[in-house]
Homo-oligomer: A and B are copies of this chain.
Amino acid sequence: MEFSFAERFENMSGSAIRAIFALLKDPEIISFGGGNPAGEAFPSKQLSDISKKLLDSSPQIMLQYGQTEGYSPLKEELAAMYNVNTDMIQITVGAQQALDLISKAMLNKGDCILVENPTFLGALQTFKMYQPSIKAVETDSEGIIISDLEAKIKKYSPKFLYVIPSFQNPTGITTSLKRRQAISDLADKYNLLVVEDDPYGKLRYEGSELPSIFSLNKTGSVVYLTSFSKTISPGLRVAAAIGAQELIQKLTIGAQGTTVHCPILNQAMVYEFLKSGGYEPHIENMCRLYKARRDNMLKLLSEHMPDNVSYTHPEGGLFLWCTLSENTDATKVFKKAVENKVAFVPGISFYSENPKKNTFRLNFSFVNEEKAKTGIIALAKVIKEFN
């Protein structure tokens, strides 16, 4: 058999990051590479009890086909949480599926979309399957630069803007309130859909909570993605897209043709955990743990990194973003680092345009303090060799 694959695969590298993850299987490597929650923080006892209770009491619901839109009790709970109608909600198999379904609903080949520069590499991979023209909007320490956004909306008439306003992946930066409002206003002014991805919003370790762009917008221009991957469990694959009913209906048709529905048991486990009263204390515990890990990471970086390495100070989330001296190639540092049993993700994978080769992402949620110390000391040593 000689395969003739679809054109959309012609520019799919995907291999760089997949190769990185393959490397990370080596248990001796201290990895700041992935976006994994801390395994020891999962509410496993509660979820085990909930799962048993659900399968014992309602097996014919848990194990049978369910509705494509999602498990009704979970949708009702989310509707109350976000002050929306249930017909504005589509439950997805992780927020990644929401990105796929939104792309499916919106994109013809060649359509333009806007993203932050840099942005979540997994989103770029999903979008690329629909063969859009991806234009990058420049960012600074307050998020996306509004003048650049407006210029690019005018120039490219994009189908949507993709943003991660809270504790962005990969930079850890939070979009300021003023910019959130400005994004919402531009969306209305130019009839632009904003895809607001918010997997980390609940994981804030300092500063005050900011309203989502979705909550600031009154005209249905924003579709908001929430996920339980970082707050409960990524393995369960439960997330939701919340937005205008007209869009959600298209996502439902898309979901019908891909996964049919998110597994019922998984949705019901999330729902029961939300209702158990255990969710908020669990989030508080996670925040305590991750704050300590972030603080530890920042302390280690300040103690061990050469002065020409800069890094962000995220108020929450899982990641921070490092910038090396201008001529240092983080991919080369990466290769040397892996030889020294420490890993991260080179920044180049997160750029859709104008990559800055001297950047990389560090995750601080997964590795404990002791291992983080060993890892950062080893990494600093490698970086010094490149100075």
Residues of chain A touching chain B, judged by Cβ–Cβ distance below 8 Å, are: 1-9, 12, 14, 18, 34-37, 39-40, 42, 44, 47-48, 51-52, 55-56, 59-66, 93-94, 96-97, 99-100, 104-109, 111, 122, 125-126, 128-129, 159, 187-188, 191, 193, 219-221, 229, 233-237, 244, 246-247, 250, 253-254, 256-266
For A97, what are the chain B residues with a Cβ–Cβ distance below 8 Å? 258-259
Q: Smallest Cβ distance from A75 to chain B, in angstroms?
A: 15
Q: Are A263 and B237 in contact (CB under 8 A)?
A: yes
Q: Smallest Cβ distance from A12 to chain B, in angstroms?
A: 6
What CA separation (Å) do A26 and B386 show in the bound complex? 69
For A64, what are the chain B residues with a Cβ–Cβ distance below 8 Å? 36-37, 39, 42, 233-235
For A193, what are the chain B residues with a Cβ–Cβ distance below 8 Å? 1, 3
Q: Are B236 and A263 in contact (CB under 8 A)?
A: yes
**Partner pick for A246 among B3, B108, B234, B244, CB 8 A cutoff:** B3
For A253, what are the chain B residues with a Cβ–Cβ distance below 8 Å? 9, 12, 14, 125
Q: Are A254 and B105 in contact (CB under 8 A)?
A: no
**Partner pick for A236 among B60, B159, B244, B265, CB 8 A cutoff:** B265
What CA separation (Å) do A237 and B108 show in the bound complex? 29
Say yes or no: A93-B259 contact (C-beta < 8 A), given A5-B250, A6-B107, A235-B264.
yes
Which one of A14, A40, A63, A264 has the greatest number of beta carbons of chain B within 10 Å?
A63
Q: Are A100 and B191 in contact (CB under 8 A)?
A: no
What CA separation (Å) do A93 and B36 show in the bound complex? 21
Q: Are B42 and A47 in contact (CB under 8 A)?
A: no
For A66, what are the chain B residues with a Cβ–Cβ distance below 8 Å? 235
Q: Are B237 and A260 in contact (CB under 8 A)?
A: yes
For A235, what are the chain B residues with a Cβ–Cβ distance below 8 Å? 61-66, 263-265
Q: Are B6 and A108 in contact (CB under 8 A)?
A: yes
Say yes or no: A258-B5 contact (C-beta < 8 A), given A44-B59, A51-B55.
no
What CA separation (Å) do A238 and B327 show in the bound complex? 48
A107: nearest chain-B partner, CB-CB: B6
A71: nearest chain-B partner, CB-CB: B235
Q: Smallest Cβ distance from A261 to chain B, in angstroms?
A: 7
Q: Smallest Cβ distance from A46 to chain B, in angstroms?
A: 10
Which one of A1, A104, A254, A260 has the greatest number of beta carbons of chain B within 10 Å?
A1
What CA separation (Å) do A233 and B235 show in the bound complex? 19
Q: Are A191 and B256 in contact (CB under 8 A)?
A: no
For A2, what are the chain B residues with a Cβ–Cβ distance below 8 Å? 191
Q: Are A104 and B1 in contact (CB under 8 A)?
A: no
What CA separation (Å) do A234 and B260 show in the bound complex? 10
A51: nearest chain-B partner, CB-CB: B51
User: 12 A-B Cβ contacts within 8 A?
Assistant: A3-B247, A8-B108, A12-B253, A34-B65, A44-B56, A61-B235, A93-B259, A100-B257, A125-B256, A125-B257, A235-B264, A258-B258
What CA separation (Å) do A324 and B180 show in the bound complex? 61
Q: Are A48 and B55 in contact (CB under 8 A)?
A: yes
Q: Are B244 and A3 in contact (CB under 8 A)?
A: yes
For A61, what are the chain B residues with a Cβ–Cβ distance below 8 Å? 235
For A35, what are the chain B residues with a Cβ–Cβ distance below 8 Å? 65
